[in-house]
């Protein structure tokens, strides 16, 4: 009889400990959320100078890139969430250069068109603000800063010489010198998105 009483008491203690642990886990999931993100990026580039060594420099068109990484949310309350994470971005755009002199020497590059292929390590930090909620769908706005550290810069280039107008093509070549990009990029972003709650611990997010 005593053994039965001890076993019953021990089972209540275990059940109480399990319920307490489950409650703590639920509190953690309500406060912190972790996940993955993946999606396209739309990029453009701006030259730091309009002329370099008698060459005029101009941007032409942007490129569609790719981004993925990890996210971490801290829920301040039901309306506001601070988020951060770490990711990898593949960005790029095209830049044209044209020599503005009519006395250009033989075998000099008269013009060049460079399509940049850039890889960045990114760390965003921002604020997510819930705007509306419909059943399990939450609509929100986001704003914040995005720090990008340049890891790799390569490009495809078409070079034309004058006066022979010979053409040379380079593919995925490492870029340097005056073609070097800024190593650290700090940007500001604003956007909107929606979350759909699959269950208490899993959200599907669209930006």
pLDDT of residue 120: 93
Q: Rounded to whole angstroms, what are the CA distances from 96 to 46, 151, 207? A: 11, 23, 32
DSSP states along 103-163: TPPTTEEEEEEEEEEEEEEEEEEEEEEEEEEETTEEEEEEEEEEEEEEEEEEEEEEEEEET
- The DSSP bridge partners found for residue 24 are none
pLDDT in tens, the chain (207 residues): 444 444 444 444 444 544 455 555 555 556 778 777 777 888 877 777 777 777 788 778 778 888 888 888 888 888 899 999 999 998 888 888 887 766 555 556 777 888 888 999 999 999 999 888 887 788 888 899 989 999 998 888 888 776 666 777 878 788 877 778 888 988 888 887 777 766 655 555 656
pLDDT of residue 12: 43
pLDDT of residue 3: 43
pLDDT of residue 1: 47
pLDDT of residue 34: 79
Instruction: Count helices and strands (H / E) in the chain.
Output: 1, 10
């Amino acid at each position: 009889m005593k053994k039965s009483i001890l076993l019953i008491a021990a089972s209540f203690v275990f059940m109480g400990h399990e319920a307490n642990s489950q409650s703590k886990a639920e509190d953690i999931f309500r406060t912190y959320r972790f996940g993955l993100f993946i999606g396209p990026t739309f990029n453009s580039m701006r030259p730091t100078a309009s002329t370099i060594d008698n060459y005029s420099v101009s941007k032409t068109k942007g490129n569609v890139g790719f981004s993925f990484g990890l996210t971490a949310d801290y829920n301040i309350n039901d309306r506001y969430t601070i988020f951060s994470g770490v990711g990898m971005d593949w960005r790029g755009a095209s830049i044209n250069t044209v020599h503005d002199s009519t006395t250009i020497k033989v075998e000099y590059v008269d013009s060049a068109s460079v399509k940049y292929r850039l890889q960045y390590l990114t760390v965003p930090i921002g604020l997510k603000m819930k705007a509306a909620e419909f059943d399990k769908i939450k609509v929100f706005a986001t704003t914040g800063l995005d720090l990008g550290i340049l890891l790799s810069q390569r490009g495809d280039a078409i070079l034309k010489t004058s006066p022979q107008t010979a053409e040379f093509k380079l593919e995925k070549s490492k870029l340097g010198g005056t073609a070097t990009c800024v190593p650290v990029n700090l940007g500001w972003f604003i956007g909107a998105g929606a979350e759909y709650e699959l269950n208490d611990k899993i959200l599907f997010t669209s930006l």
